[in-house]
């Protein structure tokens, strides 16, 4: 066979046709048969409007909406399925995780947390590199929040029902007064945690680590002196907990640990079980107990065997 112009053109066309078949036609034929997943639902008109804001403000450049089998963070309980994206045009899978994946973000936080977060992400996540979206004004932030709260569809709806249920209970407890509010918070901690002291001593190094963790994760809501008057406070209701009122009200290292680990659903207090390993939670708990509550039970009885590396 000679490399004539006809052979070159004909061969190039055959290669192009093969590529189009493999890359375009076969995937389309397959995806056109996609059926809705178990969590799929249609979005409301406001959620669609929020999706347009999400696209126009470039959110997809930093946030994916697809959970893989190897993932461990937010949403990792459920691997993404083709049927999740049935009505998404374009599909906002994204490829860059500068920020966390958002495919299951709906219901992770109440609406007021998102208002503070979109206004200035440093209010809720002091180390965030996300730009502030205060310029959208509160009405458009509310619309963007509605879309964000829909991510996860039916699963997000269930989480939102949980947020709304506990939001009402947390407001009732807060408005009942300081003693009633603290009692309500403590009552929702399992008994085993309530009687558990911090198992590690409040060493100089440990308290220094606790201070750094507090500045990195807690400062925006609870403020520099732990009084709940951080920059996020004006946007949140009930407001962040004032640690300084806890002295003499049945506080323990176990209660502090449990609340940091598990969060308080319905309030702006998120869980940190995926952000902080165990020692960091104990360290920041010791820091809060010593400097803000002035009541610390670090390394007191009952305790078990000391760790191999422990002063």
Is 16 part of a structural domain of the chain? Answer: no
**202 in the same domain as 138:** no
**54 in the same domain as 153:** yes
Model pLDDT, residue 31: 65
Looking up residue 130, the CATH number of its domain turns out to be 1.10.760.10
Model pLDDT, residue 205: 95
Domain residues for the domain of 66 are: 45-159
For the entire predicted model, the pTM comes to 0.88
Q: Are 214 and 292 in contact (CB under 8 A)?
A: no
**208 in the same domain as 142:** no
Q: Give the mean pLDDT per block of 10 residues along the chain (311 residues).
A: 81 92 80 86 97 97 94 88 91 91 96 98 97 97 98 97 98 98 96 94 96 97 97 98 96 97 97 95 98 95 84 75
Model pLDDT, residue 305: 86
Q: What is the domain count for the chain?
A: 2
Model pLDDT, residue 1: 63
Model pLDDT, residue 26: 81
In the listed set 159, 176, 199, which residue is the last one of a domain according to the structure?
Answer: 159
**118 in the same domain as 50:** yes
């Amino acid at each position: 066979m000679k490399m004539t112009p006809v052979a070159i053109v004909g061969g190039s066309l055959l290669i192009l046709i093969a590529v189009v078949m493999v890359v375009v036609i076969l995937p389309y034929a397959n995806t056109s048969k996609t059926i809705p997943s178990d969590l799929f639902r249609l979005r409301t008109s406001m959620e669609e409007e929020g999706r347009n804001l999400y696209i126009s403000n470039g959110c997809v450049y930093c946030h994916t909406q697809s959970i893989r089998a190897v993932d461990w963070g937010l949403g990792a309980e459920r691997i993404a399925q083709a049927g999740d994206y049935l009505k998404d045009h374009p599909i906002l899978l994204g490829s860059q995780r500068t920020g966390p994946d958002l495919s299951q973000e709906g219901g992770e936080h109440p609406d007021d947390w998102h208002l503070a977060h979109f206004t200035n992400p440093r209010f809720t996540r002091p180390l965030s590199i996300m730009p502030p979206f205060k310029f959208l004004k509160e009405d458009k932030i509310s619309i963007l929040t509605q879309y964000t709260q829909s991510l996860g569809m039916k699963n997000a709806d269930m989480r939102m029902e949980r947020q709304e249920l506990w939001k009402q209970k947390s407001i009732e407890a807060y408005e009942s007064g300081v003693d009633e509010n603290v009692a309500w918070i403590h009552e929702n901690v399992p008994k085993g945690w309530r009687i558990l002291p911090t198992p590690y001593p409040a060493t100089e190094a440990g308290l220094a680590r606790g201070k750094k963790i507090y500045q990195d994760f807690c400062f925006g809501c609870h403020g520099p002196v732990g009084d709940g008057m951080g920059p996020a406070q004006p946007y949140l209701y009930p407001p962040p907990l004032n640690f300084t009122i806890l002295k003499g009200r049945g506080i323990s290292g176990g209660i502090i640990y449990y609340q940091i680990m598990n969060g308080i659903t319905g309030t702006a207090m998120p869980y940190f079980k995926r952000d902080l390993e165990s020692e960091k939670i104990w360290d920041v708990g010791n820091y809060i107990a010593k400097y803000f509550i002035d009541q610390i039970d670090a390394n007191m009885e009952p305790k078990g065997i000391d760790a191999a590396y422990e002063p």
